[in-house]
Amino acid sequence: MLRPRGLLAALAALCTAVLAATLLAGSAVAGDRRDTTGTTAAPAAPAAGAKAAGNKVIGYFTEWGIYQRNYHVKNIETSGSAAKLTHINYAFGNVTGGKCAIGDAYADYDKAYDAATSVDGKADTWDAGALRGNFNQLRKLKKLHPELKVLWSFGGWTWSAGFGEAARNPAAFAQSCYDLVEDPRWADVFDGIDIDWEYPNACGNSCDTSGRAAFPKLMSALRAKFGQNNLVTAAITADASSGGKIDAADYAGAAQYVNWYNPMTYDFFGAWAAQGPTAPHSPLTSYNGIPQQGFNTDAAIQKLKGLGVPASKLLLGIGFYGRGWTGVTQSTPGGTATGAAPGTYEAGIEDYKVLKNSCPATGTVAGTAYARCGNQWWSYDTPATIAGKMTYKQQQGLGGTFFWELSGDTSNGELIKSIS
């Protein structure tokens, strides 16, 4: 889910078959409201006596977004997003040498914000010991929104290789994470830790062979160290294929140690399969012609619930971006292509705030939107399809919603407003 996008292009070079399994989400309705690829499978009905859905709304804030993207903590406030969030996941801390480590010291706690760019209109100081950077801006944001919680997320696509070593001594890893998150300079900023291991006992940017029991052991150590008063959460795979990534690790066994899971229900399909077939990266359900069974949101949710993970500990994942191909000749999903469509920061991926104008949705499939403009084909969620996914979240009694990531939304928070 969650990963620096500049490195996603490496997917194709790694292992196409395994990588196609990268995660995640879906939704319903946009454009002309047609499902032109055939009958969409209905999501499984909620179990009798299912608990009411939760209202968590969690957005990822990327530390590197302050550079090219020019997206700062203040933008969370000015967009109206802060008032709608319950939690922010700060991405990412590094995992190296078996320990949690700083990802970008300058962005995290050193960059000086002037009055105009600071959350509260007050410039950072250079006084000895003064906190600056994103951490100080998050501190200021929390003062404006006292109920808002912030978790420090570690790992991600790029930095997950370090979890293998961490898993060899979970207690030492947990101690290092606690010492870093609870550093006196910023302990008040964070309310817990989020782990984004891509993927335990499976392949992502690198391949892990820690064994099926490694993940629950790691999460158990983190819970023991952080205690019951801090949040401990994890972003996990949404690959529900037979013998896929959900099967590779004991997510059900680790569920007792987490407050909730964020199954990354997006990035199921993309232009790492350069010639297609074109497919929505975040289908809510299966559909006729889907390239891989088990690669959809409902399949992941049902599989995790079937393993014994409580619905209240599962959040619905939404992507605030689209994935696209170029060289297409077919408007509906399932067409051929010649490669990745151009993107602002990386080929094959683009923010919603750009796509809504550059390539407006022309149809829907499996609860999410798609668009063909010229020789390009894109899939992404819109306010209308997100509304459909929220209906699903309510029906399934899920704990809430999370999304990757805040800077993909419009300047007035169009997508987050559709999360209810």
Domains with residue ranges and CATH for the chain: 5-418 (3.20.20.80)
CA dist 107 and 113 (Å) reads: 11
Provide the β-strand partners of residue 163. none
| CA atoms in the 13 A half-sphere facing the CB of 368 | 34
Q: Report residue 23's pLDDT band, with 50, 70 and 90 as the boundaries.
A: very low
Q: Report residue 378's pLDDT band, with 50, 70 and 90 as the boundaries.
A: very high
The pLDDT of residue 213 is: 98
| Contact by Cβ (8 Å): 320, 281 | no
Question: What would the mean pLDDT of 256-262 be, rounded to a whole number?
Answer: 98
Reading the block at residue 176, the tokens are: 């290092």
The pLDDT of residue 420 is: 73
- Is the pLDDT at 44 greater than 80? The verdict is no
- Is the pLDDT at 240 greater than 60? The verdict is yes
CA dist 214 and 306 (Å) reads: 21
The pLDDT of residue 224 is: 98
In the chain, the amino acid numbered 202 is: A
Provide the β-strand partners of residue 315. 400
The pLDDT of residue 42 is: 55
Report percent pLDDT > 90 for the chain: 87
Span 50-81, pLDDT tens digits: 568 999 999 999 999 999 999 999 999 999 99
CA dist 337 and 324 (Å) reads: 10
Report percent pLDDT > 70 for the chain: 88
Question: What would the mean pLDDT of 272-299 be, rounded to a whole number?
Answer: 98
| Contact by Cβ (8 Å): 218, 258 | no
Question: What would the mean pLDDT of 127-132 be, rounded to a whole number?
Answer: 95
Among 210, 200, 207, smallest CA distance to 246 is for 200
Residue corresponding to tokens 């390239």: 291
- Is the pLDDT at 342 greater than 50? The verdict is yes
246: left (phi over 0), alpha (psi -120 to 50) or beta: alpha
The pLDDT of residue 35 is: 32
Q: Report residue 43's pLDDT band, with 50, 70 and 90 as the boundaries.
A: low
Question: What would the mean pLDDT of 291-319 be, rounded to a whole number?
Answer: 98
Question: What would the mean pLDDT of 84-98 be, rounded to a whole number?
Answer: 98
Q: Report residue 45's pLDDT band, with 50, 70 and 90 as the boundaries.
A: low
CA dist 217 and 165 (Å) reads: 13
Span 387-410, pLDDT tens digits: 999 999 999 999 999 999 999 999
What residue spans of 145-213 are helical by DSSP H?
A: 156-159, 163-166, 170-181
Among 402, 397, 404, smallest CA distance to 419 is for 402
Provide the β-strand partners of residue 232. 193
Reading the block at residue 393, the tokens are: 């979240």
Lowest mean pLDDT among 36-45, 56-65, 89-98, 215-224: 36-45
For 417, other C-beta atoms within 10 Å of its C-beta total 16
Question: What would the mean pLDDT of 272-290 be, rounded to a whole number?
Answer: 98
The pLDDT of residue 272 is: 98
DSSP codes, 242-285: TTSHHHHS-HHHHGGG-SEEEE-B--SS-TTSTT-----SS-SS
User: Catalytic amino acids?
Assistant: 198
Q: How many Å separate Cα 216 from the centre of its chain? A: 21
Among 232, 163, 242, smallest CA distance to 204 is for 163
Q: Report residue 161's pLDDT band, with 50, 70 and 90 as the boundaries.
A: very high
| Contact by Cβ (8 Å): 61, 320 | no
Provide the β-strand partners of residue 373. 376
Q: Report residue 365's pLDDT band, with 50, 70 and 90 as the boundaries.
A: very high
pTM of the predicted model as reported, rounded to 2 decimal places: 0.90
Who has greater pLDDT, 19 or 174? 174
The end-to-end CA distance of the chain, in Å, is 21
Lowest mean pLDDT among 10-14, 73-77, 116-120, 349-353: 10-14
For 260, other C-beta atoms within 10 Å of its C-beta total 24
| Contact by Cβ (8 Å): 361, 371 | yes
The pLDDT of residue 52 is: 84
In angstroms, how far apart are the furthest CA atoms of the chain?
A: 64
| Contact by Cβ (8 Å): 36, 399 | no
Reading the block at residue 60, the tokens are: 């990822």
Q: Report residue 26's pLDDT band, with 50, 70 and 90 as the boundaries.
A: very low
The pLDDT of residue 3 is: 41
- Is the pLDDT at 146 greater than 80? The verdict is yes
